[in-house]
């Protein structure tokens, strides 16, 4: 492990052994959350551009119908459809770049106990009691713990074994005060 988190939660506070993880991310871990978080702004931006250009097209329709050739009218319609699609593509590329930037960060060491979750990265450390997390969701390939100020995404590939995944799941059920949703059925 790159960083130690043992100083956050004293051994006397734990009834069970800590679950220690080395968490690193791939762009595919973040892509769904970034898309979901920016879905509204992507749609609003794309619709705003389309409607704006459409209004200009309608306002200029008399000029377009009488003064422009058929090729120019087809070009205007193509422009009407292409610009919003291009804006959407640019925003999707920005989301992908952000997912890759987040994934390129160094790994984070996590220590999970009945007292909470401690993390240590290259330039920061943090410890959160279970009360900080309002709810948790288990997906087929990851756990997501949600707080009022963000959350924690833990890919299942970071666990050393299925037994460690099961121990983490049991610890969530035991320690989390809010709801724990299992959005996939596991064999345990």
Q: Are residues 50 and 99 in the same domain?
A: yes
Among 88, 103, 118, which residue terminates a domain? 103
Which residue range is the domain that position 64 belongs to? 30-103
Tokens of 42: 């992507």
Q: Are residues 123 and 65 in the same domain?
A: no
- Number of domains present in the structure of the chain: 2
Q: Tell me what pLDDT residue 145 has.
A: 94
Among 103, 128, 155, which residue terminates a domain? 103
Q: For the whole model, what pTM was predicted?
A: 0.72
Among 103, 130, 151, which residue terminates a domain? 103
Mean pLDDT per 10-residue interval, the chain, length 188 residues: 42 66 92 90 92 88 82 86 92 94 91 94 90 93 90 94 94 92 70
């Amino acid at each position: 492990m790159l960083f130690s988190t043992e100083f956050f939660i004293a051994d006397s506070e734990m009834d069970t052994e800590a679950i220690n993880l080395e968490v690193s991310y791939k762009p595919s871990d973040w892509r769904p959350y970034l898309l979901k978080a920016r879905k509204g702004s992507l749609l609003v931006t794309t619709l705003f551009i389309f409607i704006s250009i459409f209004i200009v097209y309608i306002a200029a329709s008399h000029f377009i119908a009488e003064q422009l050739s058929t090729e120019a009218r087809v070009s205007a319609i193509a422009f009407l459809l292409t610009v919003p699609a291009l804006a959407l593509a640019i925003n999707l590329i920005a989301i992908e770049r952000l997912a890759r930037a987040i994934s390129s960060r160094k790994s984070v060491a996590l220590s999970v106990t009945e007292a909470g979750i401690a993390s240590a990265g290259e330039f920061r450390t943090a410890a959160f009691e279970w009360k900080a997390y309002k709810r948790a969701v288990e997906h087929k390939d990851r756990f997501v713990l949600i707080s009022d100020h963000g959350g924690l995404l833990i890919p299942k590939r970071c666990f050393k074994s299925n037994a460690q995944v099961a121990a983490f799941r049991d610890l969530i059920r035991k320690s989390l005060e809010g709801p724990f949703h299992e959005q996939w059925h596991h064999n345990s």
